[in-house]
Amino acid sequence: MLGTALTINSQEHNIVTLKGAGHVAAREFAEEVKEAWTRVNLVALEKEAARLNRVLAGVLGLAAPPQYPSACKIAPLMDDAKALDASLLSKLNADAIGPEVVARIAPVRKFVADPRTARANAITAFVTAELDRWKDFFDTIESKPLTPEQRLSVVVDEDATLVLAGAGSGKTSVITAKAAYLVKAGIRQPDEILLLAFAKNAAEEMSERVEARSGVPIVARTFHAIAYDIIGIVEGSKPALADHATDDTAFSNLIKQILKDLVYRLSEVSKAIIQFFAHFLVEPKTEWDFKTKHDFYTHMESQDLRTLQGEKVKSYEELRIANWLYENGVEYEYEPLYEHKVSEIGRRDYQPDFRLTESGIYIEHFGVRREKARDGSERLVTAPFVDRDEYLAGMDWKRKVHAEHQTTLIETFSYERQEGRLLTGLAEKLAPHVTQTPRPVDTIYDRIVELKQVDDFSKLLGTFLRKFKSGGYSLQDCQTKSDRMKLGKRARAFLDVFAPVFEEYQKRLEGRIDFEDMILRAALYAEDGRYVSPFRHILVDEFQDISQSRARLVKALKAQHPDVRVFAVGDDWQSIFRFAGSDIHLMRHFGREFGGSFDGEAGVHRTVDLGRTFRSVDHIAFAARTFVLRNPAQIDKKIVPAGTATEPAIRVVSVSKGEDEGKLNELLGALSAAMAPEAKPATVLLLGRYRFTEPDMPGLRRRFPRLKISFKTIHASKGLEADHVILLNADSGRMGFPSEIVDDPLLSLVSPEEEAFQNAEERRVMYVAMTRARHTLTILASNARPSSFVTELRKDPAYGISTAPGAETEAHVCGECGGRLLGVTGQDGRIWYRCEHVQHCGNLLPACPSCSAALPRLAEGTSEVRCGCGASYPTCPECEDGWLVERSGTFGKFLGCVRYPTCTGKAKISGGDRPTITKSRRRTRA
């Protein structure tokens, strides 16, 4: 009666309502609007019919995809489907288009709503079908059928695929099968596949293997070979290669020659070079950088604190003083005996730090700093682990000695270095007493050469230079990073030397190129499009060894076409070439660096773990896995061993000093004797961290003809295997294993990230050594100074290490510094227990007087020191490790510390069961 309201909904406009219309007219109008809207929907569908059919076919094809549905292949379909849905499908009215059309477009709409799930389902369908389809190929491509994990890695074809290939897991088989599969499946033509290896012989072997196994002619190339080809294509000819590019010895000699020439030619540069050698060659850490004496002593022993005069000193600050004296022509003696006999119970003969030979002046350097109290007063403090009162008493005693004997004492202090005036202050104090006659820089440099300090520094400079070039760094980059990492004066001094060396090195190339230039120039040509890549699949072997420059080249080639795939095979557990520029973080962040993108997700990639090892028995395989995964940054991988050990497969054999050769002969003799008469020769691989550990190989081969014996450094052993592996010289020390000289903090300036885990790369070197063995691994270690790795293997039951009965002596902690007390045989034939930090600590204890072998230790909950043989002694009231024994003195017999005269703890002998303890002031050298 009041009329009909007609409401029209619109996505593009506000809702329109017409009121007061006649009922019949309104109904007719509404019907006409619906019909018009249906016609619009159907017309729109008709216009997009071809596009819809194409998208629909693509989406439906995901149910059984003909090729691996990688992100780069599916992304265009997703983009097309999303665009079609946004412009049309989402706007269609179900009533208008009808249920049949709704059902037809439903797969597209479902795909648009969740493309990731759709792609994941498509991958599953493809992989399942493809593994079945190529079963015969996988069964026959290698001498043995491929494992399920190897087959999966071949058919997976993501934008970026990383195959984790542990030691002995058959990575070469995977690369070979992948290349052959791509061609045989019609996915790529041979010239569209780039097969990359790091070494020339590895590339040649791979090329031959691919063609022999599959008949497919794909030439594997090194990174440098493809880079050189790219440069030749773009420039029309290939520039000459520098002579030293392929010769590390020539490269090192060139750096040494540049250093020498700069010293003799340029005064400012020569000063910078001499300054670095004299004051910054070693890392400038002091007692205040460590929490315990043991940590400090361990660090000091890892540094070669060798002065320009040639002696080894005990601290970085003493090193600076000694080198300043040498530079300025002030003759001195280090730690001479004091010219007057000073006798005081409990003290060793007095040895001042320095004596100036011409003037007779003494220099003592005191490890004290100044600290202000809240009331403004100032006091001297010592390092956290040093007894302040005892140390200050020692300072006073030394001053008293010089005063009594009227000798001149010059004092220097740690706080002077902290305040930046150690050497200027020394110069002022010495000025009234000595005349400085500075040595010429060329004379000092000749001395540095004589001490062989140039060799290690040249290696550091060379490694830095190569990493600097390959990473595309600038000097400003390094300076900025140095400031951020607070590397201080040492880094600035190093860069002052490096800058002119690098400039001179570039000049001496004279138009030729080195390998770093080669890679970077090729990458640049690929990045800017001057080189057009034909490659659609890039297969990289030994991916854990990739450097920043090589990664840049791979990325540049990948970026040239949207459908390029990267297939990388490697093992981050075997990344041991950081010194050559390899960057383990590129593998750890593989997806971020090389992955594709899909549905808003970046870094899309796939990882396949081969898992199975065809080399090592379970005991070795699992122990090696446990060992390397102590570093939580390593990628976790499963291990399926090659077999089960029937007897202990890993053992540690302790070796006394001078017994290395005899113990090795004993081990080889046992291996030879255990062989069956008709058995073929067993292979034995001797491994050393350094080349100098190589024994007399001709002699060993003559003595043990039934064994096939070889020696390799661990780095050179990668890819090799043997029935039995013997690891030599697993000792602690600067040239031990783990090596304590490989990672100079300065290299962090040209490294993307520093690994936080201690000995991270050395741990991987140990893993490589362990996994060369098929059946047994024997580790030879010093019984006095076993390496930290050996100690770890012995202590943790998880490794299941076998140690010969009685071969391992009980570990004792030094009460003076926290180091180890090691059993040694003295010149008198008696056994003594000496602190491992003999140069710094000097704690020395005799063996038990009763058994003459073991070391008595404090029994928990008692005041007695007891030996394993059953003997017991009263504890020393003054020191941690000593015990009291009967001695004779002026006033008769008494109980005195076995560490006398270092410790003067004593007690009276009473008639009772227990001695009466008499306290005396403990005296040790400050």
- Structural tokens at position 157: 């074809």
Q: Which of 173-182, 510-519, 808-817 has the lowest mean pLDDT?
A: 808-817
Looking at the domain assignment, is residue 325 inside a domain? no
CB atoms within 10 A of CB 225: 16
- Structural tokens at position 503: 């400039």
Query: In this structure, what are the phi and psi dihedrals at residue 634, rounded to the nearest 5 degrees?
Result: -70, 145
CA dist., res. 571 & res. 635, Å (int) = 9
**Residues present in the chain in total:** 926
Is 751 found in the same domain as 625? yes
Omega cis (within 30) before 66: no
Q: What's the rounded mean pLDDT across residues 47-68?
A: 94
Q: Are 880 and 903 in contact (CB under 8 A)?
A: no
Q: What's the rounded mean pLDDT across residues 815-824?
A: 87
Q: What's the rounded mean pLDDT across residues 49-63?
A: 94
**DSSP code of 331?**
-
Looking at the domain assignment, is residue 322 inside a domain? no
Q: What is the pLDDT of residue 713?
A: 96
DSSP H/E element including 663: helix 660-673
Q: Are 595 and 602 in contact (CB under 8 A)?
A: yes
Residue 330 pLDDT > 90: yes
CA dist., res. 416 & res. 427, Å (int) = 12
Q: What is the pLDDT of residue 925?
A: 37
b/e code 514-526 from CB counts within 10 Å (16+ = b): bbbbbbbbbbbbb
DSSP H/E element including 161: strand 160-164
CB atoms within 10 A of CB 360: 11
Q: What is the pLDDT of residue 759?
A: 86
**DSSP code of 691?**
G
Give the domain CATH number at 655. Answer: 3.40.50.300
Is 23 found in the same domain as 51? yes
Residue 555 pLDDT > 90: yes
Query: In this structure, what are the phi and psi dihedrals at residue 605, rounded to the nearest 5 degrees?
Result: -155, 175
Residue 159 pLDDT > 90: yes
Number of domains in the chain: 6
| pLDDT tens, residue by residue, 531-542 | 999 999 999 999
Is 891 found in the same domain as 852? yes
| Residue the block writes with tokens 């280090």 | 334
**What percentage of the chain reaches a pLDDT higher than 70?**
95
Q: What is the layout of strands, in order, in the sheet containing 362-366?
A: 332-334, 354-356, 362-366, 409-413
Looking at the domain assignment, is residue 319 inside a domain? no
Single out the residue in 478, 494, 512 at which a domain terminates.
512
| Residue the block writes with tokens 């510390």 | 897
Looking at the domain assignment, is residue 924 inside a domain? no
Residue 913 pLDDT > 50: no
Residue type, 733: G
Q: What is the pLDDT of residue 520?
A: 92
Omega cis (within 30) before 738: yes
Q: What's the rounded mean pLDDT across residues 31-41?
A: 77
| Residue the block writes with tokens 């003559």 | 702
CA dist., res. 216 & res. 190, Å (int) = 7
Residue type, 261: D
Greatest alpha-carbon pair distance for the chain in Å reads: 137
Residue 753 pLDDT > 80: no
DSSP SS3 for 379 = strand
Residues annotated in the binding site, as ranges? 165-172
Q: What is the pLDDT of residue 918?
A: 42
Q: Are 109 and 84 in contact (CB under 8 A)?
A: no
DSSP SS3 for 875 = strand
| pLDDT tens, residue by residue, 365-421 | 999 999 988 888 899 999 988 889 989 999 999 999 999 999 999 999 999 999 999
Residue 595 pLDDT > 70: yes
DSSP H/E element including 399: helix 388-405
**What percentage of the chain reaches a pLDDT higher than 90?**
55
Q: What is the pLDDT of residue 245?
A: 85
CA dist., res. 682 & res. 706, Å (int) = 7
Q: Is 923 left (phi over 0), alpha (psi -120 to 50) or beta?
A: beta
CA dist., res. 301 & res. 293, Å (int) = 12
Query: In this structure, what are the phi and psi dihedrals at residue 591, rounded to the nearest 5 degrees?
Result: -60, -45
* Number of Cα atoms under 13 Å in the Cβ half of residue 658: 2
* Number of Cα atoms under 13 Å in the Cβ half of residue 637: 32
pLDDT bucket at 919, cuts 50 / 70 / 90: very low
Single out the residue in 73, 98, 124 at which a domain terminates.
124
Helix %, strand %, coil % of the chain (to 5): 45, 20, 35
Looking at the domain assignment, is residue 324 inside a domain? no
What is the reported pTM? 0.76
Residue 184 pLDDT > 50: yes
CA 868 remoteness from chain centre: 42
Residue 14 pLDDT > 70: no
Is 762 found in the same domain as 662? yes
Q: Are 554 and 565 in contact (CB under 8 A)?
A: no
Q: What's the rounded mean pLDDT across residues 905-920?
A: 61
Alpha helix segments (H runs only) across 471-594 = 475-485, 488-509, 515-527, 548-559, 585-588, 590-594
Is 167 found in the same domain as 116? no
| Residue the block writes with tokens 């052993």 | 717
Q: Are 604 and 71 in contact (CB under 8 A)?
A: yes
Is 80 found in the same domain as 19? yes
Q: What is the pLDDT of residue 736?
A: 83
| Residue the block writes with tokens 């001042």 | 352
b/e code 177-195 from CB counts within 10 Å (16+ = b): bbbbbbbebebbeeebbbb
Is 707 found in the same domain as 630? yes
Q: What's the rounded mean pLDDT across residues 274-283?
A: 85
CA dist., res. 87 & res. 44, Å (int) = 10
Is 653 found in the same domain as 594? no
Question: 429 has which bridge partners?
Answer: none
- Structural tokens at position 182: 């791509």
Q: Are 683 and 723 in contact (CB under 8 A)?
A: yes
Looking at the domain assignment, is residue 129 inside a domain? no
Is 468 found in the same domain as 374? no
Average pLDDT, the chain: 89
Q: Are 529 and 556 in contact (CB under 8 A)?
A: no
pLDDT bucket at 618, cuts 50 / 70 / 90: confident
Q: What is the pLDDT of residue 743?
A: 62
Is 760 found in the same domain as 673? yes
Q: What is the pLDDT of residue 926?
A: 37
Long-range CB pairs of 242-248 (<8 Å, 24+ gap) are 242/509, 242/512, 242/513, 242/514, 244/514, 245/513, 245/514, 245/515
Is 290 found in the same domain as 206? no
Single out the residue in 777, 803, 829 at which a domain terminates.
803
Q: What's the rounded mean pLDDT across residues 275-294?
A: 86
Residue 921 pLDDT > 50: no
| pLDDT tens, residue by residue, 668-722 | 999 999 888 888 999 999 999 999 999 999 999 999 999 999 999 999 998 899 9
- Name residues whose C-beta falls within 8 Å of residue 189's C-beta, 6 or more positions apart in sequence: 183
DSSP SS3 for 678 = coil
**DSSP code of 715?**
G
Looking at the domain assignment, is residue 751 inside a domain? yes
Looking at the domain assignment, is residue 795 inside a domain? yes
pLDDT bucket at 916, cuts 50 / 70 / 90: very low
CA dist., res. 477 & res. 469, Å (int) = 12
Nearest alpha-carbon partner for 561 in 532, 519, 530: 532
Q: Which residue has the higher pLDDT, 127 or 785?
A: 127
Q: Are 402 and 362 in contact (CB under 8 A)?
A: yes
Residues annotated in the binding site for ATP, as ranges? 165-172
Is 752 found in the same domain as 648? yes
Q: What is the pLDDT of residue 898?
A: 93
Q: What is the pLDDT of residue 924?
A: 38
| Residue the block writes with tokens 């001297």 | 380
Q: What is the layout of strands, in order, in the sheet containing 892-897?
A: 884-889, 892-897, 906-908, 916-918
CA dist., res. 322 & res. 313, Å (int) = 9
Q: What is the layout of strands, in order, in the sheet containing 773-782?
A: 707-713, 682-688, 722-727, 773-782, 650-655, 802-803
Query: In this structure, what are the phi and psi dihedrals at residue 713, rounded to the nearest 5 degrees?
Result: -70, 160
Q: What is the pLDDT of residue 805?
A: 52
Distances (CA, A) of 30 to 34, 97, 670, 719: 6, 17, 102, 80
CB atoms within 10 A of CB 798: 11
624 lies in which domain range? 618-803
Q: At what angle do helices 171-184 and 200-214 cross, to 10 degrees?
A: 50
CB atoms within 10 A of CB 328: 17
For 739-891, strand residue ranges (E) read 773-782, 802-803, 812-813, 820-825, 831-835, 844-846, 857-858, 864-866, 872-874, 884-889
CA dist., res. 864 & res. 875, Å (int) = 5
Q: Which of 71-75, 623-627, 748-752 has the lowest mean pLDDT?
A: 748-752
Q: What is the pLDDT of residue 521?
A: 94
Question: 708 has which bridge partners?
Answer: 683
